[in-house]
């Protein structure tokens, strides 16, 4: 029996989308547990799948046990990646 590649690709895309949503939901829940934001606020602010992952990386840097200078260096090294996330957060709070 030959494989229907069109059907396979469609199902694969649906599975990937569903897995991405579950991951985003779980990350939003974790983030809301360490911030003052709710799951819904996080999902609203960061609707793109990669944005929540960037937020997690940013929060990990900020909450790390590293000294202030190391944190600043990490933020500077990843400024391009964190830029949109920081802007979104500042717009929310200012």
Q: Which residue has the higher pLDDT, 15 or 75?
A: 75
- DSSP symbol at 78: T
Count: domains in the chain: 1
Report field, pTM of the whole predicted structure over 0.75: no
Element (H, E) at 79: helix 79-93
Residue linked to tokens 């579950």: 22
Q: What is the DSSP string of 16-61?
A: HHHHHHHHHHHHHHHHHHHSSS-HHHHHHH--SHHHHHHHHHHHHH
Contacts 24+ apart (CB under 8 A), 28-32: 28/52, 30/56, 31/55, 31/56, 31/59
Whether 82 maps to a domain, the answer reads yes
34 confidence band (pLDDT: 50, 70, 90): low
Whether 42 maps to a domain, the answer reads yes
Whether 2 maps to a domain, the answer reads no
- Domain range enclosing 68: 7-93
Given a cut of 80, whether residue 30 has pLDDT beyond it is no
How crowded is the C-beta side of 32, counted as CA atoms within 13 Å? 16
């Amino acid at each position: 029996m030959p494989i229907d590649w069109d059907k396979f690709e469609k199902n694969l895309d649906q599975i990937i989308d569903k897995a991405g949503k579950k991951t985003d939901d779980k990350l939003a829940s974790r983030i809301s547990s360490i911030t003052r934001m709710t799951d819904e606020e996080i999902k609203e602010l960061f609707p793109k799948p990669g944005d929540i992952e960037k937020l997690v990386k940013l929060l990990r840097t900020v909450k790390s046990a590293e000294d202030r200078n190391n944190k600043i260096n990490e933020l500077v090294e990843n400024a391009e990646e964190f830029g949109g996330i920081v802007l979104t957060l500042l717009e929310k709070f200012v």
